[in-house]
Structure 1
Amino acid sequence: MEIFKYMEKNDYEQLLFCQDKQSGLKAIIAIHDTTLGPALGGTRMWTYKSEEAAIEDALALRLARGMTYKNAAAGLNLGGGKTVIIGDPRKDKNEEMFRAFGRYIQGLNGRYITAEDVGTTVADMDLIYEETDYVTGISPAFGSSGNPSPVTAYGVYRGMKAAAKEAFASDSLEGKVIAVQGVGNVAYTLCRHLHEEGAKLIVTDINKEAVQRAVEEFGAQAVDPDDIYRVECDIYAPCALGAIINDDTIPQLKAKVIAGSANNQLKDTCHGDIIHEMGIVYAPDYVINAGGVINVADELLGYNKERALKKVETIYDNIEKVIEISKRDNIPTYLAADRMAEERIEKVRRSRSQFLLNEHHILSRRK
């Protein structure tokens, strides 16, 4: 496997392999870009088929790179990184493993900050915290923000209003029919915000109890999972599966706005092009669902809920900026989101280069 080619393709800065024989730790830390600040990204634990598959998850699937763009678009002074731990999260975990991993993070001296991800928990983060301060999403008893789902939901709600403003010339969601796919922790809180504003909800989920809860508490209409795409609605909110905007679902959609919390909603970039040509306003997933990362990033300052929520509210402005760039450059919003992140990174990079150049000139004159 030609690792440097993988790294060069997406301009990764650093790839670290961490092992601890006694605990069974086998971890890969991928640091994509630290132009804006330390790399922040979660630790994923999974039963990979091979070491190459684990590396591809961190690099080829652009997990760390995605965090660079997400943090930049959210206006955070943080870069992007990601960790994958090879192992079965149901049976291979132990205290020594996460403490050993924490020591590796500490050795990076703040260059990388981790958090919870697929296959890891708050309890795992607490163990990492025993060895390093460079971890977020720990237990509230240690000064953490706790469950990020309500904050993520609030950010999606704010971003949805911005997208609605573009589609309907008003950001009011009162009377709007909103089809919510998935009623998990984030989507449940999102439904509450929408219900309180007077939206009409259509919901679906494979968890029938979650659906029934939304029906009883928010007066939602329930539909079967396969029917959510074709319902008559103003806004479609994918809050469960990834790759859900695809060749099969797009022809069924009747919504004018797509805005939800799910990650990686586009199956392929071509699907972002198609919905753009259809005139559907798409709120790019990593921009609209950034409330969680904004929330945990505030822990680095000493968590203040009011300050964190104020920052989450700017997701509204970020969606507006994406739409503005989309119009300016005549490109789909998924590309506009990337461009917004890239422009911010490039401005900081140029500013830093100019500063270093000026410092060099000053030192040269002194000599």
Structure 2
Amino acid sequence: MTITPARADSLGLVFDRTDELGTAGHEQVVFCRDPATGLRAIIAIHDTRLGPALGGTRFYPYTSEAKALTDVLRLSQGMTHKAAAAGIVLGGGKAVIIGDPATIKTPALLAAYGRFVDSLSGRYFTAADVGTTAQDLDVVATTTRYVVGSNGGSGDSGFSTACGVFSAMRSTAEHRWGEGGLRGTRVGVEGVGKVGTHLVALLLEEGAEVTVADASEAAVARLLERQPGVTVRHSVLNAPVDVYAPCALGATLTPSSVGTIRASIVCGAANNQLLDSSVARLLQGRGITWVPDYVANAGGLIQVAGEIGDRTADEVRSGIAGIADTMRAILRRSEYSGRLPSEVAADIVAERLAAAPNRDEVRS
């Protein structure tokens, strides 16, 4: 049977895609199924030139296997960029488990998933992501040692991720508005889960006015118990704010949504915020500074990667604080060269990957 490019995309294939992922160069994609527990998972390893792949496991009720595959391919590529931009000697990988964690997540399923991770013999280390927790990782760790971010390790990385986003946001605000940075600005945080909640607290401490939105009424209620001073809206994408912080799922920045944004800076924790790379130039055309997501949200990765490299807590904190310096350097280089911050960040990633040892040399 001949498969046309359009048909390849609709089927969610790996090699014959016509979107940007078709040339992303993933090294390995593993489909995992355990009928006894109902596990259906995909593990994608994008690039291991800098070291073994590290990335979280997303547990989500995808409406099709094709959508799950597209997500894991995008997320794993983003992890390569995130590690390289942060100067971490690890590669990029990601995993997705297909299904509603509220209904199908069981210890047996998580243990089965751990066995699949273990079968990769250390090419992929897993951590938490949307739909998984440090407690879940404790179960995964019963069947594999290739786990970071469990309670037996450095724990939940939400606060570290939020600290990194806050640092990148503040340095960008200072670059754009001067020393006052975020004080007195209006920030719209989309998604108040385990990262967004911490980010809201940091912003309020800094003196920003915060507006939030989340599809989960329970999540908003929990936040309001802690932070009753925030404003709640149905959406913050088009809210009258100075900074838009997407901290839920990705792809909220599209050719159509860009025209509705009223913020001057976009900086958040969500992965893969752009529908595709062309959106970055559309944002620039409207005078909006987009902070590359894989630069801003690297704090959690820096934390859990510290377990593999045996870094001290002080070294981890220093690495997270360094996100601000990385962002300042990107903005200066962007201003000097006339290139987008996203292009400068991509250049840095490419330079670090190109400088990595040849895989064959590493093996020898």
Q: How many residues align?
A: 347
- Assess, with a 3 A threshold, how the Cα gap between structure 1 residues 268 and 26 changes in structure 2: closer, same or farther: closer
Matched, 1:258 2:258: no
Structure 1 distance, partners of 2:98, 2:213, is: 34
Deviations 1:116-154 (A, max 9, x none): 233333333222211221111212xx2x22222221111
Answer yes or no: is the 8 Å Cα contact 1:177–1:234 preserved in 2: yes
Answer yes or no: is the 8 Å Cα contact 2:211–2:236 preserved in 1: no
TM-score, structure 2 as length reference: 0.82
Q: 2:234 is matched with which residue: 225, 236, 239?
A: 225
Secondary structure (helix, strand or coil) at the match of 2:198 reads helix
- Assess, with a 3 A threshold, how the Cα gap between structure 1 residues 339 and 22 changes in structure 2: closer, same or farther: same
Matched, 1:322 2:330: yes
Structure 1 distance, partners of 2:146, 2:329, is: 31
Aligned amino acid, residue 264 of structure 2 = K
Q: Partner of 1:237 in structure 2? A: 245
Aligned amino acid, residue 285 of structure 2 = E
Secondary structure (helix, strand or coil) at the match of 1:261 reads coil
Q: 1:110 is matched with which residue: 117, 122, 128?
A: 122
Q: Partner of 1:195 in structure 2? A: 204
TM-score, structure 1 as length reference: 0.81
Q: Partner of 1:148 in structure 2? A: 157
5 Å-filtered alignment, 1:50-199, equals 51-59=65-73, 62-139=74-151, 142=152, 144-170=153-179, 172-199=181-208
Deviations 1:257-304 (A, max 9, x none): 222223333334333212212332221122111111211111224474
Answer yes or no: is the 8 Å Cα contact 1:294–1:311 preserved in 2: yes
Identical columns (%): 39
Structure 1 distance, partners of 2:197, 2:132, is: 22
Q: Partner of 1:363 in structure 2? A: none
Structure 2 distance, partners of 1:49, 1:212, is: 32
Q: 1:44 is matched with which residue: 46, 58, 78?
A: 58
Aligned amino acid, residue 270 of structure 1 = S
5 Å-filtered alignment, 1:329-340, equals 329-340=337-348
Q: Partner of 2:292 in structure 1? A: 284
Secondary structure (helix, strand or coil) at the match of 1:75 reads coil
- Assess, with a 3 A threshold, how the Cα gap between structure 1 residues 301 and 348 changes in structure 2: closer, same or farther: closer
More deviation, 47-56/303-312: 47-56
- Cα distance, 1:241 vs structure 2: 5.0
Answer yes or no: is the 8 Å Cα contact 1:155–1:288 preserved in 2: yes
Aligned amino acid, residue 127 of structure 2 = A
- Cα distance, 1:39 vs structure 2: 0.3
List runs of 5+ in structure 1 lacking aligned partners. 361-367
Q: Partner of 2:4 in structure 1? A: none
Aligned amino acid, residue 156 of structure 2 = N
Answer yes or no: is the 8 Å Cα contact 2:212–2:236 preserved in 1: no
Structure 2 distance, partners of 1:34, 1:295, is: 19
- Assess, with a 3 A threshold, how the Cα gap between structure 1 residues 263 and 210 changes in structure 2: closer, same or farther: farther
Structure 2 distance, partners of 1:183, 1:83, is: 23
Answer yes or no: is the 8 Å Cα contact 1:166–1:281 preserved in 2: no
Structure 2 distance, partners of 1:171, 1:269, is: 31
List runs of 5+ in structure 2 lacking aligned partners. 1-7
Structure 2 distance, partners of 1:256, 1:268, is: 20
- Cα distance, 1:79 vs structure 2: 0.4
* Larger-gyration structure (1/2): 1
Structure 2 distance, partners of 1:107, 1:228, is: 42
